[in-house]
Amino acid sequence: MKIKNIFNGLSVAVLGAAMLSACTDDIKFGNAFIEKAPGGAVNVDTVFSSPVYTQQFLNSLYARQYYGLPYANASGTPNSSNTYTGKFDALTDCYQLHWGSTRVENSYYTGSLNSNTTPLMGFNDDYVWEVVRLGWMLIENIGRVPGLSDAQKKNMVAQAKCLIAERYFDLFPHYGGLPIIRNTYTGNEGSYEMSRSTVDETVKFMVGLLDEAIEGDALVWAYNGNTPETNSTNVGRWTKAGAMAMKAKILTFAASPLFNNAKPYYDGSSEAEQQHLVWYGDYQKSRWDDALKACRDFFDEVKKNGYYGLREATSKTPDGYRHAYRMGYILDDSPEALHTTRVISIYGTQGTYCWLSWGWQQNGINRNNYTPTQEYVDMFPWKDGTPFDWDKDFAAGRIEGSNGKLFFSYTPIRGGFKKEASRDPRLYENAFVNGQQEQLGWETGTSTGNVFEFWVGGYHASSNVLGEAKDKDGKPKKDENGNQIYEPVEATLTMCPTGYGNVKYLLDEQFHRKADNHWNVVTMPEMYLIYAECLAQTDNLPEAINQANVVRKRVGLGSLTMGHPEIATNKDALIEEILRERACELGLTNARFMDMVRYKRTDWMTKQLHGLGIFRMQQGSDGKWVRVTRPWLGDDKNSGTKEPNRFEYQKFELSKPVRRVLWGMDPDDTDVRKWLMSPFPQTEINKGYGLVQNPGW
């Protein structure tokens, strides 16, 4: 077997003009990379003859990290970053993608994915094996680079090990055990042992690399600018804090029920299951203990070394909490960012940064419009932290009618009303909702602009969510009381086909062209929730609640126990709440997808999802409330009509661009459970170097 089967014939000369970069210093690729190289040739001797060339070589590894926002449709784009592929989040119960040209619809929503179709995370076309090979090449040759101190060499080696471990983990949640590469190959060796390793071996390999990188002082703690070596221009390079956090994240995934279980996730008969390639083969609490220790080690170092933490609100108001949450994840130098990746081209046409140009709803393209579902919106509690429950809150009058406050409360005052956000501030940072103002000031953290009109006939929604039902003759359909019947439209490529628009990583008109738009690999809020989960899984429920409350407190919410005190003693209920909290805090970061997979939540895969139709209500001269299907922005606003503040709601089943084939299926069916892991490419299986296909594929 030739190693090129897995490395695709990669050579040192193939350094490519990749668009990604994890650090902000001047990076050269392609011909620019070999500028001033003697004789113009690029080979191992050239690369490792100069500290400058060696650093640029390391930069090329950073250029091939995973970046989770689909940004281009050009050839050479990593499979997972191509806009025609789609994000993992669109496979969960939180988002629906309405662009029919993506693999999300064509392969996943339709259920037609197979081993001849590339999954969202490609096994051999996401630059993983390029990073692995180049990483080992640097490690093997760093000793002969002149002009580098021992400390500099150790630092570069530690970075390379983190990069290899990170790229392995990019594949691990989707494929399970992987072939383990421990050195470079020339391609001329007589034989190789490249068979797929077990889950246990793969986890130990990733964690072992990170442990070696963490040991001693090879990595800096943070690029905080305290010394020349920790200059902020290096933000995005691996740090000790990032490596420790990644170790905890890997161990938590490995300890989860997908792998750490008394029974495999499929049916136990497949070769992959019998060889423990997709699970450990048993359940051991010690795996959760290991993950918990990694969390404690991390937070002990944070306490010791400082710098990292949550960005706190300067104003204890809904807008202030929103601003703190937003700036915490979007700013390049945020103390919440433990490791990030980024794209050099921040904004441009469809060929340079499609995430924004195809995602910002006001552009009217909407191909990257990952619209929130009603199920996701319902996960966000009331602003005090009390759980939201549609049925109970509807019955209590907290959703419709004079006391309705689904998104905002409107308290009558002289000359009008006082409007206040009624839900968890994070809702408004993960979903544009009806009545929300268009902007949140970058500096001021204050909401400004017109309100979003997502009601039927509103300025933004028009008839794209619900529309008038017509009979076979084209006449309006009426109910028994003579009222117009409305039916779902769910118009594709519009701003709010589910009744909501996406905010996360797109932000608003003031923000979206300014933001650096790095991708957060691991953050402080995630670490608090990972810590909470590990504590819950090891039966320390009170402390688990305390750690989750750190994240909730930052946005003004009360304790996680509010409204359901049983979680203080019910382990399963507490873990369910932590998973919900992760969805609210970590929207559009792949967290919900990872949770769905690692907790084997096929019930999330198979449940019918919904959107929300909204009707603007206006009181007539006879005192009756009637539906008004026209915008407020324009004639109504100009004539002095006060902002609409009373609405009725109609949930509807999502079904466009196609209805997901898994909806309504038995969650325990093997035809559903197989989707917990991805298929290896059949072409790679056929090469005979040791890949064993995942169950069901």
- What pLDDT shows up at residue 416? 82
Which DSSP string corresponds to 200-234? Answer: HHHHHHHHHHHHHHHSTTSS-S---SSSGGG-GGG
Q: CA 408, CA 166: separation in Å to the nearest integer? A: 42
Q: Which residues of the chain have pLDDT under 50?
A: 1-5, 7-40, 349-350
Closest C-alpha among 386, 372, 375 to residue 601: 375
Residue 98: per-residue pLDDT: 95
**Number of neighbours of residue 575 by Cβ within 10 angstroms:** 18
Beta bridge partners of 623: none
pLDDT (0 to 100) of residue 297: 98
Cα(229)–Cα(652) distance, rounded to whole angstroms?
A: 56
Looking at the domain 4-108+117-305+681-686, which fold is it? 1.25.40
pLDDT single digits (tens) 331-383: 988 999 999 998 765 555 445 678 888 888 777 889 999 999 999 999 999 99
Q: What ranges do the domains of the chain cover?
A: 4-108+117-305+681-686, 318-517+610-653
Q: Return the exposure string of 252-266: e unless at least 16 CB atoms fall within 10 Å of the residue's CB, then b.
A: bbbbbbbbbeeebbb
* CB-facing half-sphere around the CA of 527: CA atoms within 13 A: 30
Rounded to a whole number of angstroms, the CA Rg of the chain reads 26
Residues 39, 37: Cα–Cα separation, whole Å: 6
pTM comes to: 0.94
Measuring CA to CA, which residue among 245, 14, 225, 253 is closest to residue 137? 14
pLDDT, tens digit (0-9, with 9 covering 90-100), for 615-634: 999 998 899 999 999 999 99
- Residue 216 tokens read as 């001693």
